[in-house]
Structures are given as structure tokens and as C-alpha cells.
Chains A and B, each alone.
Chain A
């Protein structure tokens, strides 16, 4: 915690800011990329959202209240950016976010940055059918392997509620894959 506070101070100090931000980028660009990619599904959109996320992080560092860890705060920004992006993209196309994601999954087969088979496509389709919160919890737990405590800090939901959400998500996914 002490170390993190020192790092935040470096990020806020104009003299050390650039160097510290580069360090932050190197540490978090991969996990945040994976998190966003799991939400928006294609690489180009992920690239856009990831850039916006880091720009927002940079601009809002001075407002970071230390109520949570820097890691959770950045994940929260990335999640919000990705969900906003999906909603805006769906709105532009005049479709729902679920329809948009289904279309994106259909396009995954021809996506050069997707190396998956039928079961992976089916799993993605099963996830899209879930309520938004369950989708988030499932992706963060199953693909990103985050701890419940970490997800709890990011999403602001209790560990108990998260465990219940994950359990429901798994049941629905298993039912979807079995019947399709």
C-alpha cells in the first residue's frame, strides 16, 4: 500500500509523471487489454477502448480517491469504457447490445485475430445470452481468473453476490451448450 502511494505520487508529480505512466502502461496494458477484449470481442475495437481507458486514467489520476486499489480503479474505468462503447455502437446501428455482440461472434470465424473452434464460439454465444452482470462476472472469473475479492472491488458487489452470479452463469451456460 505504501509502495502504491509512492507510485501514485510519482504519477502526479509532473517531473516523474511520464516515466511513472510508462511503467503503469507496461504493467497493466496486457491485463486491461484482455479484460476489454473479453467484453468487446474484436481487436480493433479493443485497441480504441484501451487507448481511451489509459487516456482517462491519465486525466483522472488527480481525482483518484484511494478508496480502492489503483488496479481496481483502472479495471472499473476499462469496464465502463467498454460497456459504453458497446452501447454506443449498438445505438448507432439501431440494434441492441446483445444483437451487436451476436453479430460480432458470427464474425469471429473470419477474424484473423481469433483462433478458436466451435466450442469457443458456442461458449461466447452462451455468454451473450446472460444478463450483463453475470456476463461480466463469468468473464472476469473464468477467462481472466481474477479473485472474487478483486472482482468485488472492481464491480462494487459483495463476494457472496458474485459467487451466486457466477454459479447462475455457469448453470445457464451449461444448459445453453447442452441444448445447442
Chain B
């Protein structure tokens, strides 16, 4: 058998055929298949993320300031305000008036026991104008 030599043979074509109008339709078909370059959708939050974060930080600080301030004031204050003390003594404690008096110095008691100098006429006026007081005296 004669040896086959590629270079001695006429060019062998691949023999592949292409359907008619294939390329005309191909470009049109492909252009529809291309992913569209749609602008990226960025949410409002993402777009202004920095600003949102800054506003949030400022708000948190603003909200924390009064809390921190009052808590430090309370911690540092050693004095009890009068209203609290009064309400405690009146409703919460077992201390009676005598206990309180025992706790006071003589000078302080003297200060409380100031005599109120009232004219008789003044007392009469008060009794006349306040009928309720008369009832009390009667009892």
C-alpha cells in the first residue's frame, strides 16, 4: 500500500458546513443574551452608611450624657435632700417624736421651744374668724 503523505495530497478540507444565515442570526441572538450593564443597586443605607453611622454615634452619645451625668451626681452626692428625709422619717421609720427629741442637742430644743408672744386680742380675732377652732376648744 502506498504510504500516505499529507503534503503530497491536495488540501483536505474539514468538511464542516454551517447552516444558512447562521451568522446573521447569531450576532442578533447573542446581543440579547449579553448581561446588561445595569447600574448597581445600592441601598440608601449603604450609600450614606458613613453619615448614618455618624448620626447614630452622636445620638447615642447625646442619650448617654444625661444618664452618665445623673449617675455620677448621685454617686458623688453625700447629702440627702430634705424632702426625702422628711418622707422617710414620716412613713418609713419607727422613730417617734421623742426619739427625735432625744437625738437633739439642748440648744436645738431651746430653739424649737420659742415662745410665741400673742396678744389676747389677736387670739380672740382668730377664734372669732375660725369657727372650727371653737369646736376644738369646746371638746
Contacts and interface: CB of A to CB of B under 8 A. Distances in A.
A123 B35 contact: no
Given A173-B6, A177-B4, A178-B1, A51 B33 contact: yes
A14 B37 contact: yes
A50 B26 contact: yes
A25 B26 CA distance: 9
Contact of A115 (B5, B17, B22): B17
- B interface bracket (residues with beta carbon within 8 Å of A): 20 to 34
Contact of A113 (B7, B16, B26): B16
Interface string B93-116: 000000000000000000000000
B27 A174 contact: no
Nearest to B14: A143
Contacts of A51: 29-30, 33
A26 B27 contact: yes
Contacts of B26: 25, 29, 47, 50
A48 to B, nearest CB: 12
B12 A58 contact: no
Nearest to B9: A119
A116 interface: yes
A116 B15 contact: yes
B47 to A, nearest CB: 20
B18 interface: yes
Contacts, number: 79
Contacts of A112: 17
B16 A37 contact: yes
Interface residues of A, number: 39
A174 B3 contact: yes
B15 A22 contact: no
B19 interface: yes
A6 B35 CA distance: 23
A24 B26 CA distance: 13
Interface of B: 1, 3-7, 12-19, 22-23, 26-27, 29-31, 33-35, 37
Given A115-B15, A170-B6, 13 more contacts: A14-B37, A18-B31, A25-B30, A29-B27, A47-B26, A51-B29, A55-B35, A58-B34, A58-B35, A114-B17, A120-B12, A120-B14, A178-B3
30 contacts: A14-B37, A25-B27, A25-B31, A33-B18, A34-B14, A34-B16, A37-B14, A43-B18, A50-B26, A51-B29, A51-B30, A55-B35, A112-B17, A113-B17, A113-B18, A113-B19, A114-B17, A115-B15, A115-B16, A117-B15, A120-B12, A120-B13, A123-B12, A142-B6, A143-B13, A170-B7, A174-B3, A174-B4, A174-B5, A178-B3
